Amino acid sequence: MNASVPGPELARQLEELAQVPALPVLAELAASQGLQVYLVGGTVRELLLGRQTHDLDLAVDRQALALAQALATRLGGTYVLLDEQERSARVVWQGLELDLTEWRGPDLASDLQGRDFTVNAMALDLQALFQAGPPAIIDPWGGQADLAAGRLQLLRPENFQKDPLRLLRAFRFAATHGFALTPEVRAVVQQYGPAIVRVPGERLHQELFRLLEAPHASPVLQEMDALGFLEHIFPELADMKGVWQNGYHHLDVFDHSLAALAQVERLLAEPGAFFQQVAPYVAAYASQEKKPALVKLAALFHDVGKPPTQEYRADRDRYTFYHHDHLGVEIFRAAAARLRFSQDETATVSRLIALHMRPFLLLPDLRAGQLSQRAMARFIKAARPDLAGVFLLAMADSLAGQGPLKPVDAEAVLADFCDTVYLFLIERLEPLEQRPRLLTGDDLIKSLHLQPGPEFRRLLTAVEEAALEGRVATRAEALALVRDLLATERCNRD
């Protein structure tokens, strides 16, 4: 097998790797049992790229599970069986993950040839880390040359037929590492793309989020679409193609959604480009785990309800898409279930889709100077805890629509709206929420002799909104308001 001696910088990194406490223990255990162990795959790739990794991939000639169990026992770590059929296990210890897998073939070369890409088909003898002189990089398939060129080259097409998830992984590497797909990889994607539906949703979910969390996922999704692969992951998006919109837009629904996702990435990279006082609030939201990926998903799906709700109104000479936001939530939830999204992930994206139109519906009141505190409070309460995410999606949606009827000051007015709502939140709503409530359910029972029921929520909400508007400030005034509401309702019924 081809091998090369690392340069000075890589040699230094390998010296640091040898200091990882778990590795000499593993080397000792392997030597005592006559086992061959190699660092492989992503571990070697990231070393060559000068990146640190807390996840180590190791290939073992035999008895990988027993070796992993012995290592976990010696370290006091945790043993996790990953795949008994593939003879793969993980040892977790002090934030470090070591994945040990038996060779898939009679020797190391066969194991490496069974991997996905040349950049992941390099190896490093574990024992060599602790011997004199720099250890050699085993590179039988030209992975270092492809790594230096920034290209993703496959080893054998049949490897993708065996595990179609590797098709999605190609795009994930394109997003996270900037690798260019070679013509051979593109051909395999087109040939085996439909097989991705055989992959369990849990595995797709993990790769998909890794892709979307990359800062520049947008051009990769566009390439996925160009190769006909995106519709295999998200078949719900296919109906959006060719569905034209009104004069506020210059693209069909599908291309507009891809453009909105690209604008989300632009805003995530530089929130201050279009946001004003609310920019730090948006940046703090974007720093939370998974939030960028979830907002991007919301951008991709925010108009997925438009095709089935499209209706041409001759009296207005335009299309309408009434309730496309609500239907969009239902369509997204079906996709989320298929891809095994968590409840929190599904709830976040659903909330963003459901509310993506709300800022635009409130803009006329803002322009007229009539945006009420009640409307802002209701919007905030509906959007929490993803208010900043709604701001992001709305701004991206606006930027992605550049039709001739769009107002020239659209983004400026939207930024004013975000600032107005945010300032109301921190200056008025949050301070009021931190005070004791004027009325509780017990007050309605004891003072007004009401029976608990659905109307309690409505009455208490009315008191909160009146307090926001300054119409009530004491418990007595709140009770009087409730009495008036009940009396008015009785009169209306009579």
Reading the block at residue 156, the tokens are: 């054998």
Architecture of domain 3-149: 2-Layer Sandwich (3.30)
Structure confidence at residue 183 (pLDDT): 97
CB 106 within 8 A of CB 96: no
- pLDDT at residue number 402: 93
Q: CA quadruple 25, 29, 30, 32: dihedral positive or negative? A: positive
Residues 278 and 284: their CA atoms lie apart, in Å, by: 10
494 residues of the chain, pLDDT tens digit each? 666 656 667 888 888 888 899 999 999 999 999 999 999 999 999 999 988 887 899 999 999 999 999 999 999 999 999 999 999 999 999 999 999 999 999 999 999 999 999 999 999 999 999 987 778 899 999 999 999 999 999 999 999 999 999 999 999 999 999 999 999 999 999 999 999 999 999 999 999 999 999 999 999 999 999 999 999 999 999 999 999 998 889 999 999 999 999 999 999 999 999 999 999 999 999 999 999 999 999 999 999 999 999 998 888 778 889 999 999 999 999 999 999 999 999 999 999 999 999 999 999 999 999 999 999 999 999 999 999 999 999 999 999 999 988 999 999 999 999 999 999 999 999 998 888 888 888 888 888 888 888 888 888 888 888 888 888 888 888 888 888 888 887 887 76
Q: How far apart are CA 394 and CA 410, in angstroms?
A: 11
Q: What's the whole-model pTM score?
A: 0.90
Long-range interactions of 279-286: CB distance < 8 A, separation 24+: 281/388, 281/422, 282/388, 282/391, 282/392, 284/388, 285/386, 285/388, 285/389, 285/392, 286/388, 286/392
pLDDT of residue 5: 56
Which bin fits 178, alpha (ψ -120 to 50), beta or left (φ > 0)?
left
Find how far residue 134's CA is from the centre of its chain: 40
Three-class DSSP category at 76? coil
Give the distance, in angstroms, between the CA of residue 306 and the centroid of all CA atoms in the same chain. 23
Residue 59: beta bridge partners? 38, 101
Grouping H, G, I as helix, E, B as strand and the rest as coil, residue 211 is helix
Q: Which residues contact 84 (CB under 8 A, 6 or more apart)?
A: 65
Helix, strand, coil shares, percent, the chain, to 5: 60, 10, 30
Query: What per-residue confidence (pLDDT) applies to 455?
Result: 87
Query: Quick one: pLDDT at residue 52?
Result: 80
- Residue 286 CB neighbour total at 10 angstroms: 18
pLDDT at 6: 61
Class of domain 158-233: mainly alpha
CB 362 within 8 A of CB 372: no
- What beta strand segments (E) does 401-464 contain? none
Alpha helices in 130-278 (DSSP H): 143-149, 158-162, 165-177, 183-192, 201-212, 218-226, 230-233, 253-269
Which structure tokens are listed for 145?
Answer: 């040359």
pLDDT given at position 293? 98
pLDDT of residue 437: 87
Per residue in 153-173, pLDDT (tens digit) is 999 999 999 999 999 999 999
Q: Kindly list the domain boundaries of the chain, sorted by start residue.
A: 3-149, 158-233, 239-434, 441-493
**Residue 357: what are its φ and ψ, rounded to 5°?**
-90, -15
Count CA atoms within 13 Å of residue 349 on its CB side.
29
Q: Report pLDDT for 7.
A: 67
